[in-house]
Structure 1
Amino acid sequence: MTFKLKYQLIVCTLIAVWASAALYALVLDVSFAQLLLVTGFASLVAIVLCHYVFDGVAKRFVALETGLLNFRDNEFGVSLAVDGKDEISHLAALYNETSNKLRQEKQWIYQRELMLDKVLQSSPLAVMLLDNSERVIFANASARELLAQGSRIEGAALESLLETLPQTMVEAIRSGRDGLFSVQKDDDEQGSEAWHLSHGSFLMNGNQHKLLLFKQLTRELSRQEVQTWKKVIRVISHELNNSLAPISSMVHSGRLLAEQHGDTRLVKVFETIGERASHLNSFILGYAKFAKLPQPNRSRVDWQGFVDSLAGQWAFKVEGSLPDTPGFFDPAQMQQVLINLLKNAAESGSIGDDISLQVKTLENGVLVEVCDRGSGMSEAVLTQALLPFYSTKGEGTGLGLALCREIVEAHDGRISLSNRAGGGLKVSFFLPG
């Protein structure tokens, strides 16, 4: 482009020179040889001056052209030298101002994209984006874990993914409607998980895209359930405490009066009332502990030393080898969980040699299993055993397994119960690494 302008300027200059020479010849009546000599010399001078003057302009036009080509390639790091006050220098200054603004906006957009990608990748919400041919063009870490055990699925056809997914999930995806579905977990992560699937669609770059959002509701439902139980417990504890305080005071006064009058039968009555009130008070304190369980104070814990500390309290055997990698949990709270589970196993009728503890290392955490060969549980009991107040023991408070569940879920884990083939119970809980 700049060379065409250069030659056009030379041609125009030469035309002007020749026109001036012709006019000069007509006015002064010079000879042809003189005219030719003057015209040739003027033309040479004009060409040299045009080359000299235009070379600087040409370089500045080339720089401006290069900068604009960089704009087209989304590169805004090039600045032009501004060394004058002419029109081209003014144009270069405007270019530099535009370049700086675009560079700042590009950096801001890049930072926002990084933040958005970080949020999406770390979100527990599984996000998958499909193009108009139903191929995956984006899937965050949660979606890859849910749909492909962590493998990358970008570029894969949706139909090929559906071949490996549970039927309930396939039906939810193909329905095209928002709704709930449940997924049965494998042997290492027993139980079922509740999920909510949202379908969305929008235009991007002129093409229709589909957005699938998978939200796990199991933990949220469990959390809401536990919060409801805690509220009930707090209300009951408050009302019972309001009644127990005056009863204990009156029992103490009544017992003193009975002793003064020597009425042994009345003393015995007051002692029995006091004993039952004390028992009820300890019962309430146990529920209050469950309702006010503190957040776990997690730390790195050596599995061998942790299990050895339990061996002195309950009889059990360790199946397999313990993980070399330390666990990450609150040792006091997790000890309470295992003490409750080992105690239940011992009270189930199982002998010590049949009670086992196993810690399995998984890709994203550990799975702890406590097994026994006791009487097991009926299906009805299995569905209720983790709820507060529920107990099959005559003297039970229904707090043991409920407290275990609360502690495990406070560690972002999950717990499940199942009967063993050949008799007995297996309690499994997963702790993320």
Structure 2
Amino acid sequence: MNSYVSPKPRRNQRGSVEDRWRKRTKDADGNTVEVPSAVAGKVTRWRARYVDNGGREIQRSFERKVDAQKWLDAQLASLLRGDHVSPQDAKLTVGQWCDKWLAGYGTRRESTVRMAEVHLKIIRAEFDAVPLSAIKPSDVRAWCAKLKAEGRADSYVYALHARLSQLFSDAVHDELVARNPCSRRTSPGMGKQRPYVATTAQVWALYDAVPDGVKPAILLGAHAGLRLAEAAALRVTDVDFETGVVAPSVQWGDKPLKSELSRRPIPIPLDMARLLAAAVPLGDGSHLVSDQWGNPGGPWTIQRAVRAAIPVVGLPEGFRFHDLRHYFASLLIASGLDVKVVQARLRHASAKTTLDTYGHLWPDRDDTSRAAVEAVYQEREAACPSTSAKSSSTSSTPFPMATSGPTARTFSFPLRSDRSFPSTATTSESSLGL
């Protein structure tokens, strides 16, 4: 027996406007005539209806036929453009969409979901009962300005705007709204992150000030760039003490690492490997970091030890363990390593992240660009010595600052033959009226 079931026929998407007060019928002679309907005068007269892409029939009633036809034309046009939103979906509020969106976002890492929940709480405080379709770009700009007026950091306002944009992008994908009100025009400035970079003396002083069981964490943060949860969870088996390689595998609590790139092995000097190996007997032999009782030391153990050592070492009050990672980045940059190598050691997803965070640490050498242009002049002098000699016969060449009028004046720029820095400009006394 054939079990094939034919697909459900697609409903015709043509729309129509009908008069609910009148109906057509046959008279005694068989002619078609219009007569009042049973609901004449009891309901709104004109009804417009159409079928959307999902096969749902959507209808709306109007007092005037012209209004019904205008609404129907707009809906059918949006279907053709591909930006149609059903009237029912247009009533969905931001708070309702946040609940639905967060349910699907729960497949991410636990810490990622927690951060999304914090952002959504702030978004709900402003837009909770507002329909998605009612939010305009001007509303987004006003919200960002309000957040900045409340004293929130530029980088945090930027992150909240990005979260709101993510919400609306997914709403557009679900055909709940026609467009995303968030864009580069509404986006606030990201702000430049200027992480605190400790000195080498401060890092070693911090290493000496913390308990012996926490000392490996200081080394792993400052000389391998490990994050707090990675350093706390680093197991003895994750370190090759003979070759000097650290390979993080999990975060604290056996949570997965931030990304697959976080699994990249990190080379360390053998002197550091020996210091890490010397700390293994302080614990239970499973983890490098340990507390005062010899148990694996979690993030709180490390943070408490660092906070206690801050006043002793002379570090700023807001110093965090993560600032040791910034020290590691500055150490690599000061050693002359390029951005791709620094990106690999920090295990960033892209070089853009590395440059956005640490770009200001790379040296800006004016002499390098000056020497590059200087080589062009040297080649010219070598190829055309006669021209160079002619040029050197004139000690300076005047450049006009004003071409006419009583304020006309000139200044002289020294050529290569008599160049000395800093240069001084000579002014015509007659043109200055002196």
Structure label with greater radius of gyration: 1
More contact order relative to length (CA 8 Å, sep ≥ 6): 2
Task: Name the structure with the higher helix share.
Answer: 1
Report the TM-score when normalising by structure 2: 0.27
By percentage of residues, which structure has more strand? 1
